[in-house]
């Protein structure tokens, strides 16, 4: 016969869960599982695709009030999703404000000057946006959702993303 169990100390449980979720850094695999389960849940239960580009379409539809140009999602859930990404990052970093404006290799190329860094980041952002529209979605939409749905074009787009990333990384880190 097993001995009787002690009752669960809920106060202790919730104090440790809060520390585990908020205070400690998550392992890369835990974040991957969370993203995968979120994508699976959206596709399975709601029949919707996870992607950041759609959130920007929702934001444009809300700001311009023009749903003929921008296809907004029902209830603008993608807008709330992209709004939650930086807010979730801020929430996760409460008490860990050690971030900086330093960008490593970019600081070496731009001599650490914000005057030179801002155009690099803006051009990079515009190129990312152009590529996302051209590829029919961003890297998260194509790589996470497109591949899991079996889209051949998403597989090709993801391979192109990887090849371009490897090429540019080698150019920046080996040539400069």
Domain residue ranges in the chain: 26-99
- CA separation for the pair 90, 49 (Å, rounded): 25
- Model confidence at 89, pLDDT cuts 50, 70, 90, reads confident
- Model confidence at 122, pLDDT cuts 50, 70, 90, reads confident
SS3 content of the chain, % helix, strand, coil (to 5): 70, 0, 30
SS3 68: coil
Considering the chain, what percentage of its residues have pLDDT values greater than 70?
73
Q: Is the pLDDT of residue 27 over 70?
A: yes
Q: Is the pLDDT of residue 71 over 70?
A: no
Question: Which pair of tokens denotes residue 97?
Answer: 């404000």
Task: Give just the sign of the alpha carbon dihedral 30, 36, 40, 42.
Answer: positive
- CA separation for the pair 12, 105 (Å, rounded): 44
Q: Is the pLDDT of residue 113 over 80?
A: no
Considering the chain, what percentage of its residues have pLDDT values greater than 90?
1
Contact between 66 and 175 under an 8 Å Cβ cutoff? The reply is: no
Question: Which pair of tokens denotes residue 160?
Answer: 């192109």
């Amino acid at each position: 016969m097993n001995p009787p169990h002690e009752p669960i100390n809920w106060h202790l449980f919730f104090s440790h869960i809060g520390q585990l979720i908020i205070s400690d850094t998550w392992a890369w695999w835990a974040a991957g599982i969370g993203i995968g389960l979120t994508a699976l849940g959206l596709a399975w239960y709601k029949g919707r695709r996870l992607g950041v580009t759609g959130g920007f379409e929702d934001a444009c539809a809300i700001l311009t009030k023009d749903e003929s140009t921008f296809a907004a999602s029902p209830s603008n859930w993608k807008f709330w999703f992209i709004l939650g990404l930086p807010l979730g990052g801020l929430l996760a970093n409460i008490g860990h404000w050690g971030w900086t404006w330093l960008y490593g290799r970019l600081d070496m190329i731009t001599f650490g000057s914000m005057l030179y860094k801002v155009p690099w980041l803006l051009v990079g952002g515009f190129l990312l946006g152009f590529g996302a529209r051209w590829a029919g979605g961003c890297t998260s939409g194509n790589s996470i959702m497109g591949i899991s749905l079996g889209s051949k074009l998403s597989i090709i787009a993801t391979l192109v993303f990887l090849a371009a990333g490897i090429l540019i990384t080698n150019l920046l880190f080996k040539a400069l």
